[in-house]
Chains A and B, each alone.
Chain A
Amino acid sequence: MRTEELLRRLAAHRDSNARLMARARTLSLEEVEGSTDPEVLRIRRMALAVRGEVCRMRGFIRLAPLGDRVLWGRISPHHDVGFEISDFFARRFPGKLIVLGDGRRSWTSLYSDGALLHQEGCGLAATLAEISGIMDLLAQGGEEEEGRQVSEEKGGKDKDETKVEPQHIGAEEGAGTAAADLWTVYYQSQDEPRKAGGRRYGGRISRRALRSAGLDAEKGSGSAKLQDFI
């Protein structure tokens, strides 16, 4: 791990403090990698814990569309990595608002014209409701200004598409939607029980990660049958 990355990761750790940061700044790359000093080992472990959480969040979070301009998902990270995750998805899906968070915090990112913008909020539901309100206003304003042509110019975007209803926000990763059914059927087609054992599923995704990402298909592995969806 490079020194800049070490400092960034350490700063994001929830148990990070000024003393550890000061010590980390004095360390060379060689010391970080080769030292057996307990404090240096602790610094390295903390940085790796943050890096691990970022990796897990990127992999296990599930995004749901809200209209055609917003993707949202639930995360409750231990460490201060919310923006790192939302920025990652903003870059992956340019032009879309990425809203991640839980009941208390939210992180919104947008990658547009080569620039990355972000905003912190106080809860996923509140942020999505605010965005929905703004989108509604923009759609209304656009209609007044442009008349009927607006709808066609914006690809037929319907203002109702972005409307946030409470059931959207409370929904578990779109359970019952076509995409969720598709995933469940596909996921189960890949299972190979003969190779069960060794590093099994539970050892690869923690219960916490399962819960926070709401991975329904994976939680019920082996219980649903194709016939359930036909």
Chain B
Amino acid sequence: MTTLEKMARLAAGGSFDSVGPASGRALDLAKVEALGRGTKYDLCTSSAARREREDDAASALRGGLCHSFTGSGRCVSLFKTLYTNACPQDCGYCPNASTSAKKRIFSYSPEEIARITLDLYQENRIEGLFLSSGIGRDENETMEEMIEAVRLLRTAHHFRGYVHLKILPGSSKEHVRQAMELSDRVSVNLEGPSAARMAELCPSKEYENDILARQRYIRDLSRDVALPAGQTTQMVVGAAGETDREIFDRMLIEYDVMNLKRVYFSAFTPLAGTAFADRERAPAWREHRLYQVDWLYRVYKLEREEITAAFDDLGYLPDGDPKVAIARASLEEPIDPNGASFAELIRVPGIGPKTARRILLRRKNGRIERMRDLAKLGVAPRRAGPFLQVGGKSATTLDRWGF
């Protein structure tokens, strides 16, 4: 143990290399509100990425903490904002589009972004920064200013927190490279699953040139430039009549061809003043079911063909757990947890990878003869029961057959 006096002396005499002192300059709070609201439907997490070698000091810089939740249950872990809400694009769902009702235009300066991020980070309200933007006057000019904001944070203020930077459609390859060098994660929003759907959502954007070409830049550059939390993207669900199957097929291309880390989905909400204000809103559960399918592919490693069993004939996911639908289609007989492989176990609803591993470990010490023992290992008995045979018995119910 060290004396408080010695610690105070060290702190007083040490070179100041963390965040700088808070500024007393007043900010326009209307701007903070308007530009913050502009990213409400942008989804992100402060993934546990790390730029530095993992030791005790570096572990304090890893992301992944939730600092708060909104009333809707969303995690607030980053200062998520637009750089400017000026935009010449005509995306029908977006309140910042040129076709939307007249609005007040706001823009930050790089210094303002850096200052707000530092102030909130120092108070432990956020893990880092998520910076998106409207196109402004020119995509490269705006991209340059966004990069400058992150550069200020990283170099002038030695900020080592998490940074997720949006790549604006049409940005130059050099800007993409600079953004990747400074950020933990970068992303380009796909918005639609195909060029045809994009034409419906946003006629002024070119799917191949503006979006996919930028994703390829990131994929190719990441061979040389470290990007700890990788590349992600986001799609709007239900704005242009696309089916879940179309979104799923695009998601597979994004993971398998573009090497993306995550694909996010945002259920379409018609906003007043936008071109799509009169369209029907997509149900929130649709977004949820797509995330479940994404999870089955990415984490459970289920095959594409298996997952397609969860879609109906029209290509939509019903409002039910897709894992149950897949299990009904693929598990012909209840399985015995004493003999099943890891791959078989994780296909049972109510058993995840962690629980499946526990079952394998538990089997080394003897047979599992009661459902109660499985429950102690983390199995959800009501969901898993109809698909399991424990101690010679299976809890077959009408639910097992989909009635």
Contacts and interface: CB of A to CB of B under 8 A. Distances in A.
B115 to A, nearest CB: 10
Contacts of B74: 190, 192, 195
B2 interface: yes
A138 B4 contact: no
A65 B11 contact: no
B4 A205 contact: no
A81 to B, nearest CB: 15
B124 A187 contact: no
Contacts of B59: 91
Nearest to A156: B21
A36 B22 contact: no
B119 interface: yes
A65 B122 contact: yes
Contact of B17 (A94, A139, A200): A94
Interface in A125-182: 127, 130-131, 134-135, 138-139, 154-155, 174, 178-179, 181-182
Contact of A112 (B11, B21, B116): B11
A119 B284 CA distance: 50
B361 A34 contact: yes
A119 B7 CA distance: 9
Most chain B beta-carbon contacts within 10 A, residue among A89, A185, A197, A199: A185
Contact of A178 (B24, B57, B68, B363): B24
Interface stretch (B33-41, B94-102, B103-111, B325-333): B33-41
Nearest to B127: A59
Contacts of B17: 94-95
Given A63-B122, A93-B122, A95-B14, A186 B36 contact: yes
Contacts of A218: 68-69
Given A33-B357, A230-B29, A195 B4 contact: no
B47 to A, nearest CB: 15
A71 B56 CA distance: 20
A227 to B, nearest CB: 9
A55 interface: yes
Interface string A176-216: 00110111011111111111111111011100000000010
Contacts of B116: 182
B65 A55 contact: yes
B70 A221 contact: yes
Most chain A beta-carbon contacts within 10 A, residue among B9, B56, B60, B75: B60
A68 B60 contact: no
Nearest to A215: B68
A49 interface: no
B197 interface: no
B120 A189 contact: no
A169 B361 CA distance: 51
A34 B362 contact: yes
A41 B19 CA distance: 43
A65 B17 CA distance: 16
A162 to B, nearest CB: 9
Interface in B325-359: 357-359
A215 B76 CA distance: 13
Nearest to A154: B12
Contacts of A138: 8-9, 12
A34 B364 contact: yes
Contacts of B16: 68, 95, 155
Size bracket of the A interface: 35 or more
B397 interface: no
B33 A185 contact: yes
Nearest to A60: B67
B380 interface: no
Interface residues of B, number: 75
B365 A204 contact: no
B93 interface: no
B396 interface: no
Contact of B7 (A30, A108, A114): A108
Nearest to A183: B125
A179 B119 contact: yes
Interface in A75-102: 88-89, 91-97
B30 interface: yes
A181 B27 CA distance: 10
Interface string B62-74: 0001111111111
A116 B29 CA distance: 39
Given A62-B124, A93-B19, A131-B8, A221 B71 contact: yes
A62 B21 CA distance: 17
A198 B73 contact: yes
A6 interface: no
Interface string B20-57: 01101011011011101101110000000000000011
Contact of B70 (A154, A183, A187): A187
B22 A179 contact: yes
A69 interface: yes
B6 interface: yes
Contacts of A108: 4, 7
A45 B36 CA distance: 39
A217 B33 CA distance: 14
Nearest to B60: A91
Contacts of B19: 93
Given A34-B358, A200-B73, A221-B71, A117 B29 contact: no
10 contacts: A62-B124, A89-B124, A94-B57, A114-B57, A117-B7, A131-B4, A135-B12, A185-B36, A192-B72, A195-B72
Given A69-B12, A119-B1, 13 more contacts: A33-B358, A65-B122, A108-B7, A182-B27, A190-B40, A190-B70, A191-B70, A192-B40, A192-B41, A193-B71, A199-B73, A204-B66, A215-B68
Minimum-distance CB pairs A-B, first 10: A34-B361, A189-B36, A91-B60, A195-B72, A34-B362, A134-B8, A117-B2, A204-B69, A95-B14, A36-B376
